[in-house]
Each structure stands twice: as C-alpha cells, then as structure tokens.
Amino acid sequence: MRIIEEPYFTPDGTLDFPFAYVYDSSANSDAQNILNISQQLQGDSDFILRRIMGVPTVVDTPANGGRFNFKNASGNYANGNPTTGIIVPNTWPVVPEKKYRTNEQISFDLYRTLRAFNVCSATPIYASQIAFMGVKRFAKGSGYPRQITPYKYREVRYAYAFELTINWAHFDNLGNVQPAQRFIQQMDNFDFELLRISISQPGANVDGVPTALTTPDFAITLYDPNMHQFSSAPLLQGFLNAGRPTPATSSPYQATFPCPSQIYPAGSAITFDITSLLCGPSLPQNYEILFDGIWRYPC
Amino acid sequence: MQAIPANPFGAPVDNGLNDTSPLNYVDVDFTYPYDVVLTADQFLRDQTVSTTNDADFAWRAVVIAFSTGPFNVRFADSQGYYLSNGMIVSANLQGDAASPYPIFPEILIPAGGRIGIDIQDTSGNTNTIELLFRGVKRYRVG
C-alpha cells in the first residue's frame, strides 16, 4: 500500500500530549563509556518515543569513537552493534514509534562521552543533553483535561512574538547556578493553536540573510495552559527551535514543537521558564521567540 | 480509534505514523550497522551484514552515518541479487538518519539472512565508513 498520508489514530479516549524526557549529562565525566543508563519515565502515562535529539552534544565525534545505542522496552537493543553502538546524528527518528509503559525506563549506552559546553572562563557551562521526544499517552478516563474550543470558529493565521532579554548569567558571582526565570505570553482575544516555535536574535544576519539562533544560549521549560510541563527538565533551545539558519538549511535538530499541536484558550498564557546558559561578560542578550500558529476566530 | 489532527509544520514521524505491521506480525524499528575501514582504493567484494535469527528484517533505508572520504558501493539482497547494475558513488546515496536514502518498496531479508555489499574506496586514502541499514524487525505474533 502506498498511501502514507492518513490521520494518526490513537485508542479511543486516550490523550496524546507532546513531551520530552531529558537526559542531562552535565554531571558525567568525559572520555568514558557509560552503559545501561536509565531514563526513568514518570508514573502518570505511557510514553511513545518518536525521535531522539542531541546525541552529538553528549558523546565525542564519530572519528574519535563517539557512539550511542538504546533499548526497546523489552530490553533488547534497538540497533545492531550491541557492544560498540552506532553513530547517531543530531536527530534520530524512531519509525515505527516505540511504546514504553508507565514507570518503565528508556535504557541507553554512551560510548566515549564528551560534553558540549559554552566557554565561560575556567568553568564551562554544559549544554549537553539527550532529548527523547514523543508523546505521553494518557489512559482513557485518566481525567487529564483536553482543550476543546467551545465556540464555532474559523482558522486565522496568527503569531505571538515575545521579546526576551537575558540579563542574568548561568553562574552568579559566587559560582552558584542561578535559577530559571519565568515569562508569560498572554493569549488575548481568541483561542490559539500553537504549531511551532522559532527563536532568533534581532539583527542576526549572515551574508544579508536573517538567521535563526543555533547556539545553546539558554534552555526552556514550556508549559501547557494547565501548567503541565512539556519536558522533564529544561530543553536546550535548539531542540524546540524550528527557525532555519539559512533559507536552504533546516533547523539543526529539525524541530517542530509541540507536535501534536497545543491549544491555549483565550485568557490563558504560554508560560515558559528560561535557564540562562550564558557567561557574564556576554550579557545582556536579546532574542525573539516566535510562537507561530492559528487563531480560532469566532464565526 | 480516534484521529489526531496533524500539525502541518511537523514531520510525519512527529505527528505519528500508524502501525502498518502485516496481520499477525509486529514491526519493531531496528538498524543494522556495517563498519569498515578501507585502505586506499581497496575494493571489498561480497561483504555481509548478517541478520539475526529472531525476526525477518524489512529493509527500508540506507544512511551513510560516517565516512572519511568518497566511496562506491553496491548492495545485494539475501538471495544475492544485486540492487543496481553497477557500483553507486556514495554522493548519490546522500542522506542522514532523519532523511535517509529510501529503499522502496522495502526488501525483506529473512531471519538469519544477509545483506550483501561490494564496497570500494575512491578517496585514495584510508577510509573509515559506517553504513546503517534502517528498517524494522518483523516479529511473528499470530
């Protein structure tokens, strides 16, 4: 059968909620082989794994032996080379998707670790994460609220541009990690369906062409209208950023988030926490976060 | 069953792809790697990636995960039938894991079978290569 364009079907009554389980490797050491790492799932739902992002931020280059492998829920490896791993780029689609049940774990191996970092004098700021992207699948009758627009509407393209200034560094003067800061983008007028997020710096330009942000300047924790997190920990901005570095180049992680889309009712807000990964001397930095989507215009 | 509206900006893999396993089988994502280090201009014929005995493998895509130079390659199925009339330059198999070179329609390699490979360095230098054969293990459940 060649028909591949068809709606995705889930079991009756279940709710798919976009989610990312984040493994932060900041606490690892470099040049190690670390096997059977467990990314424990939260106890509220099954998880459907569809994409793995960020492996090159956690292991060394392929030429130096950086490799990765992971396991199915059954405990069998998802790839060959069970003793050496395989080379995995920025983004690794999982097709068909893999289901991990409530309270199970995603087990994986890292070969020759090397943590990506932002230079900040003698103390590096690590930007080293693997994101297991997919959806939480809430069971029928779990009571998790589904967002439904209660009025008749037509769809109108709309976007919210949020101007963000980061004026705090990752470390304070005493070398302690500074907490995340919270921001909100109010949903005025109508329900808003969030389809994609792109992030850039005003004026960023390469050879006369505007360019999206590609460096891990900060991490984001994004919330739904009911203040449920979309990720288990702050995500590097690149994992959410669908903006293109050049017109001909896709975003480094080929990101589209949230997927499936998320409805923010009128009067609610897109809430997000920003964790600075910047070094003090580079402050302040200005960004624009574009929340791109659809207004549900009453008719 | 309920249909989930697709995010038009999202890739099919992110929106979700329905289970297309044949009746009484379940398909599980799997990748067989092939690692080789070729000396300058070396030509290796009839190399083999053996499939495991637990399930048939539906081969759907090729990824050149890594190479230190250009090379030529030709593949064969488990019966030894070549998939092209000659060697293919690696630049014509471009892709990465997110957008691999597709094998369509899929080729079924039986459990305990093999993917055949002829491979030749064309860089004139030592060439370290990893090829990934992406697809699904097809487990019988019925």
Number of Cβ within a 10 Å radius of residue A49 = 21
CATH number at residue B76: 2.60.120
Burial profile B114-123: b = 16 or more Cβ within 10 angstroms, e = fewer: bbbbbbbbbe
Number of domains composing chain B:
1
Q: What is the 3-state secondary structure (H, E, C) of A73-134?
A: CCCCECECCCCCCECCCCEEEEEEEEEECCCCEEEEEEECECCCEECECECCEECCEEEEEE
* pLDDT value at B142 more than 90: no
Whether residue A59 contacts residue A84, with contact meaning beta carbons closer than 8 Å, is answered with no
Contacts of A17 in chain B (CB under 8 A): none
Query: Does any domain span residue B119?
Result: yes
Which whole-number Å values give the CA distances from B41 to A58, A261, B126, in the listed order?
34, 51, 8
Amino acid at A56: P
A198 strand-pairing partners = A290
Do the chains contact at A86 and B14, CB–CB below 8 Å? no
Q: Which residue has the tokens 């689609």?
A: A93
Query: Does any domain span residue B13?
Result: no
Query: Does any domain span residue B43?
Result: yes
A128-184: pLDDT as tens digits: 999 999 999 998 777 666 678 889 999 999 999 999 999 999 999 898 999 999 999
- Residues B83, B87, B89, B94: what is their CA dihedral angle, to the nearest 10 degrees? 10
Domains of chain A: 15-138 (2.60.120), 153-298 (2.60.120)
Which tokens in the block code for residue A136? 């939480």
* pLDDT value at A268 more than 80: yes
Query: Does any domain span residue B12?
Result: no
Contacts of A6 in chain B (CB under 8 A): 18
In whole angstroms, give the CA distance from residue A17 to residue B4. 11
Do the chains contact at B14 and A50, CB–CB below 8 Å? yes
Average pLDDT, chain B: 93
Mean pLDDT over A276-299 rounds to: 94
Instruction: Tell me whether B64 touches chain A (CB under 8 Å).
Output: no
A64-107: pLDDT as tens digits: 999 999 999 999 999 988 888 999 999 999 999 999 999 899 99
Global ipTM = 0.90
Q: Which residue has the tokens 């702050």?
A: A234
Query: Does any domain span residue B16?
Result: no
Give the residue numbers spanning the domain of B110.
23-140
Tell me how close the Cα of B25 comes to any Cα of chain A, in angstroms: 13
Q: What is the pLDDT of residue A2?
A: 46
In whole angstroms, give the CA distance from residue B61 to residue B100. 6
A182-239: pLDDT as tens digits: 999 999 999 999 999 999 998 777 777 778 999 999 999 999 999 999 999 999 999 9
Query: Does any domain span residue B17?
Result: no
In whole angstroms, give the CA distance from residue A51 to residue A111. 20
In whole angstroms, give the CA distance from residue A115 to residue B41. 36
Instruction: Tell me whether B80 touches chain A (CB under 8 Å).
Output: no
User: Regarding predicted confidence, which is higher, A11 or A170?
Assistant: A170
Which whole-number Å values give the CA distances from B141 to A49, B22, B26, B107, B109, in the listed order?
22, 10, 7, 20, 18
